[in-house]
Structure 1
């Protein structure tokens, strides 16, 4: 089958009015990725060599989004919504190119398993003309039933048309199917619209193919894989299923999740073996974690690279461009953005490091900030190897602190500091004996006068 060409036609023209959103339904995200992009990934994993997106509502927005998750996909607009077969035929130009297999999928089924798609394609490789993907929901009410005889699929019956015996069938239509490319356009063109809604239904090709004596079968996907999304409650349900799958995968690959149900991954999170993730950690897109790291509770990580044996959090925020080298430490209530923290360096408490390099073995004291933005432009702070920055220091970029440089606590540093130099940037302390008592008495007297005047 690996030598067979395959076109995946993904139907993504629905308005999704039940989502109560101006955005096209299929662009709503699961794990930080539009649900239609999950469908694209599944199609590619099942061996699709071509992609055709059938779009409608928000066509311009869909095309723009598709450039990111499916740059090679062809897009076709379904001007009128006249049924699923009509939607597939919007991609007639792509279908006519002579692919061996045609996979028909839906952009609102983000959990579809590539293995289920591959199983349907395998039936085509064995000579089947149409392979319909079915599933067994906990309650089949409302779903079209798959009617089989002698191992062949003879019809897809909508519930309102089912006999009492057929209503007891638990094997239901998931909507997706694989069609042999040599038969696809002929079968689709035979679909009529003699029904109550006057629409062209893709499911009709089952009986059309059967009437031609072609082999039609049903394959099976899990209920979760076939789950379609129509509203935000179902979107949240799908998110939960995706997260549960990914957490299990991470743990089986060697990561420890102390409270798995509280850890949230993005679609592209990479996490190494022997990494420990404590409760309530959120990973946004673009996170790569090597082996042996520890991510403490309530940390928020996005667009960051974390090397082996790093220590992050608790309550740390790593923003895009954060790059932690081996054994680096970013502690509680610290934020790192577009900055490298080199091997063994420590950013322990209540600190902001942005547009900067923290050299190997350097120590950044509590309350330190890199002042990297002047309201118009960003500037870089370079902190050398083994430097020590005392607590409550402000480092005003552009700035270089040399190797082994030492910054006294409470300093505002505006000029570069040479290697091994000590820098102070604070006012000299002055102590006035008795002045504190005098001030308290003056303030108390003024408060009493204000209170009396207010009566």
Structure 2
């Protein structure tokens, strides 16, 4: 959690280290009635979180359960996609997962996702990914997301964001502190949400919003009164040309409310606007005074409305991922040409060369060298191994320590033992490769018989000659050898040498039992 805003989750309630009681005076430095419109709030770092604009405070805040509401019921028509917008992947994770993680890390004990009943995939994803909140704890020493319960609430008619909030029963709003976040805001960080919550509690106003200065963005505008206080928010489609030209303060789409006041305000608004919808932003004239937290980073305010913003959001999150890896001791030679999903882990002192793509739940150990021009997805790679250039490692592949995977190799559902080498131009599918084995150039495991995928077993210390074809299911014994161009259709005993089409045994040697000795590493030459 952020050092300037210590938060703890206990028994479903979010408490703040500076939480006030009804008898408590405002803490030192917090705004009072009549204070400047841009008086700083205690605990908010202006350089990072920005300025707080709060015209008044009540002098006390009740400790309330924090409920997060994620608005995800829109049709996402500007995406022009059959996939619900919030399920579009960004750096290996659905967009909505970034938002869910941010609000749970910020301290939400309850999360309600307002969903479209026509988007059954959204509910299915939330059920499979977020139904067990204990799976989402991360980090150590209490850091990471709490055990938030995620509930889907359907908005059966698309009547706007305020109408979406009306789908939540009154008894679930009254008495709660309500955080509302747009589901298409994957760049919003937990630390920023914490600061917004802290500002809301410190100011004591019925509502708090976040804004950002961004002349280039065509989103809802924050309209201020002459005294600098919030007057109203004008949505994009309702903004006049004059407002678009002169008002550059943009509504971020993150709000914090007193639940009871929010419920009352939702009953008072109408739908007299261009879209004929009930806008959540219309509640603010009924909730004055409103605290405004102005953010410094316009990226956090970016809502993903179309594919161009999807690409822009992906670029921002990718940079965050790569920066974090480099800070943890990973060398990334060219971040601009490197793609790493958020679900990937990489060990210290590993070097990632240009044009490397690391996807899904890939795990790479320490002191490895990856790339250039590799595509790795759902693979485990042990310490001190290297891979590339021009390699494709597909899901289900497990590579042990001290392994060399050279140029133009493809592996899928394959296990490679410690010290083995696949130097170049080979395909290993559904293969169990032992320790200290060597695979010659052009080797193929023919794993598919037209109906089933069959496995190939290659023993410790085996030496596979160039252009060998292993027709699965087949087993090549420990320290066995194949001659160049062999087609192996039958099991080969330990220590045997086979040649020909089909391959036949031409020589045998005695091989010590596995318990007696390690495989002969001298057979691992690449002189083929």
TM score, norm. by length of structure 1: 0.86
Residue deviations 1:125-145 (CA, integer Å, cap 9, x gap): 433432212122143665312
Residue deviations 1:224-258 (CA, integer Å, cap 9, x gap): 01111222122112212222222222222211111
> In structure 1, what is the equivalent of residue 88 of structure 2?
28
> In structure 2, what is the equivalent of residue 203 of structure 1?
281
Structure 2 counterpart SS, 1:420: coil
**Structure 2 counterparts to residues 156-195 of structure 1, below 5 A:** 156-157=233-234, 168=246, 170-195=248-273
The verdict on how the C-alpha distance between 1:198 and 1:257 changes in structure 2, with shifts beyond 3 A counting, is same
Contact 2:396 2:414 (C-alpha < 8 Å) held by counterparts: yes
Contact 2:221 2:248 (C-alpha < 8 Å) held by counterparts: no
Structure 2 counterpart SS, 1:145: strand
> In structure 1, what is the equivalent of residue 317 of structure 2?
242
Structure 1 counterpart SS, 2:299: coil
**Structure 2 counterparts to residues 324-339 of structure 1, below 5 A:** 324-339=399-414
Cα distance in structure 1, aligned partners of 2:467 and 2:74: 55
Cα distance in structure 2, aligned partners of 1:166 and 1:230: 18
> In structure 2, what is the equivalent of residue 400 of structure 1?
475
| Structure 1 stretch displaced more, 394-403 or 380-389 | 394-403
> In structure 1, what is the equivalent of residue 70 of structure 2?
10
**Residue among 148, 152, 160 paired with 1:83:** 160
Structure 2 counterpart SS, 1:352: strand
1:223 aligns with 2:298: yes
Gaps of at least 5 residues in structure 2 are 1-6, 15-64, 132-148, 504-528
The verdict on how the C-alpha distance between 1:294 and 1:138 changes in structure 2, with shifts beyond 3 A counting, is farther
Cα distance in structure 1, aligned partners of 2:501 and 2:382: 36
TM score, norm. by length of structure 2: 0.74
**Residue among 209, 212, 217 paired with 1:132:** 209
> In structure 2, what is the equivalent of residue 311 of structure 1?
386
Cα distance in structure 2, aligned partners of 1:188 and 1:221: 30
The verdict on how the C-alpha distance between 1:215 and 1:326 changes in structure 2, with shifts beyond 3 A counting, is same
Cα distance in structure 2, aligned partners of 1:427 and 1:173: 72
Cα distance in structure 1, aligned partners of 2:163 and 2:436: 64
Cα distance in structure 1, aligned partners of 2:448 and 2:241: 71
> In structure 1, what is the equivalent of residue 514 of structure 2?
none
Residue deviations 1:389-437 (CA, integer Å, cap 9, x gap): 1111111222222221112221111222222222224269xxxxxxxxx
Higher helix proportion (structure 1 or 2):
1
The verdict on how the C-alpha distance between 1:363 and 1:158 changes in structure 2, with shifts beyond 3 A counting, is closer
Aligned alpha-carbon RMSD (Å)? 2.7
**Residue among 222, 232, 244 paired with 1:155:** 232
1:422 aligns with 2:506: no
Cα distance in structure 1, aligned partners of 2:464 and 2:267: 74
Residue deviations 1:84-132 (CA, integer Å, cap 9, x gap): 1111222337x71667432211121221111111112223443343221
Cα distance in structure 2, aligned partners of 1:365 and 1:419: 18
Structure 1 counterpart SS, 2:414: strand
> In structure 1, what is the equivalent of residue 461 of structure 2?
386
> In structure 2, what is the equivalent of residue 105 of structure 1?
181
Larger Rg: 1
> How many residues are paired up?
425
Residue deviations 1:37-82 (CA, integer Å, cap 9, x gap): 2211222221222222212263212222323433353222212222
Cα distance in structure 1, aligned partners of 2:493 and 2:502: 21
Gaps of at least 5 residues in structure 1 are 429-455
The verdict on how the C-alpha distance between 1:77 and 1:16 changes in structure 2, with shifts beyond 3 A counting, is same
Structure 2 counterpart SS, 1:357: strand
